[in-house]
Each structure stands twice: as structure tokens, then as C-alpha cells.
Chains A and B, each alone.
Chain A
């Protein structure tokens, strides 16, 4: 049985892509892609957020902490800050592009089997997940990574928003509508 387990382990780590495809290169490319998109997005939204926050502060009394974030001041007028939802609208647009690219990855992998009839062999190996593991592992890992990055991104923006807006200026309904984060 030890032999069998070793075999299964070897399979899991060596065969997460179709034959002769290098999963690690694909993973790396996908990660660079995801990170690039999300970092660019993050910077544009962080600035948007900060600009919003600045608009409500008196420029003269705002001071910043070590990280460059405003940590205090006086709010102009009696207006409230814009809803977080509005501020972050479209912050996850890049995910649509990223996931589309990952789906293309999967299609490309599946094509390897379907074009060559090797799918016949894959359909009759005792391991029913053999083909799907090889075709979906890389796209799924990348998607999960993208989701994690997205969650961090949104939570961090939310943190900034609530951390630096005095409570009295917060809008009544501050919940985040997920759908609006994806739409531009």
C-alpha cells in the first residue's frame, strides 16, 4: 500500500498539466498577470479613496502618519463621505479578465486531449479525475489566488475607509454590494 500512496503522491505533484506542458511556468505567468493587474488597480483606487478622504478634511490640519495616510483633521461642511460602495465600484474588474484568461488556460489544456483522441484513454483510466486534474488544477489555483488577492484588496480599502473617516460622517448604509465591485 505504501507503494500505492507514493504513486498517488507522485501523480498529484507531477501531473497537474497535460503531458509535456509545464504547469509551473503557467502558474508563474498567471500569478504575475494577476498580481500586476491587482496592484495597478489597487494604486488607482487607493488614490481615489485618499482623494475622497482629503476632500473632506481641511488641507491645513490634515497630517499623515508614517505610511502617508491621513490620520486626523476637520471635516468641511456638514456633508457625509460617499458610500464605500460607490468609492470602490469596479475595483474588481481585473478579476473578470484574469478568470477569463484562466478559462482559456483550461480550454487550451482540454484541447490537448480532445484534439488527439487521448480523451478516450482518459475516459477509461480508473482515476476519474485524471484529465480534470491535469486541465483544471492550474486554472483553479490561479483563480483561488485571485480571489484571495481580491478579498485582501477590498478589506484593506474598507479598513482605510473606516479607519480614517470620523464616525459621524459615515453614510447610513455602508454595506458593500459585491456586484458593483465588478462593474465599471
Chain B
């Protein structure tokens, strides 16, 4: 069962998108694996304190993207093929890079400066132990 214990809502983003992102990040980070079962819609709605419609919407979008399959009465499971995982990784990466780039540009930082900043940060984070997992798996 995929745990949503570490799910934290953030302001400004629709909740269903946050759920989507939570699942995708978990999948990329490896804490959510192929075949893992999702909580029922009602359970997730209760756990997160959000409207069932919102959960329903998130599930539908996950289904549309082929990340989960649902059987009536039997819950939903992750369907993560290596190809899908790669595509997800790329998608998330692109999103993050895009937001970083636009943030940097908004601050009026030029390309050289940006690359230098990234390089600097990279080295700093290499010295610290890596890892800021999105979610830990529970039995």
C-alpha cells in the first residue's frame, strides 16, 4: 500500500496535481514500485481531508497517463514499465529545470551566472549525504 504520510499540501497548486506529482516523484525515486496498491479513493480522501471529487480526478488522470490501473471493487495498482519510468523521469526533470530557469531569468541572472550557480550548488550538495526521499514505503 502506498503511504501518503509524507504528503504535504502546498498553497497555490491544485491538490489533484499535487497528488499526481507525489506519485510521480515517488515512482522516480523508487519508493513507489510497479504493482504497488493505492489506497481506495474514499480512504485517500479521508486521509488527506480533501473532497472525493478531487481524489477521483487525480486517479482519473493517473489512469489516463497509464500509471495506474483500476479494477472495480479491487482497488488501483501502479503499472510502471521501465519505459514509463524513463518518460516520467524526463517529464519531472524538464518541469523542474523549466521552473528553475524561469525563476533565474526573472531575477535577471544571465546564462553564465546561472551555470556557475548550479555548478557551485552541485559541489556543495555532493559533500552532504544525498537523498530527500519523497515518500517511504510501508507494508
A adjacent to B, CB under 8 Å: no
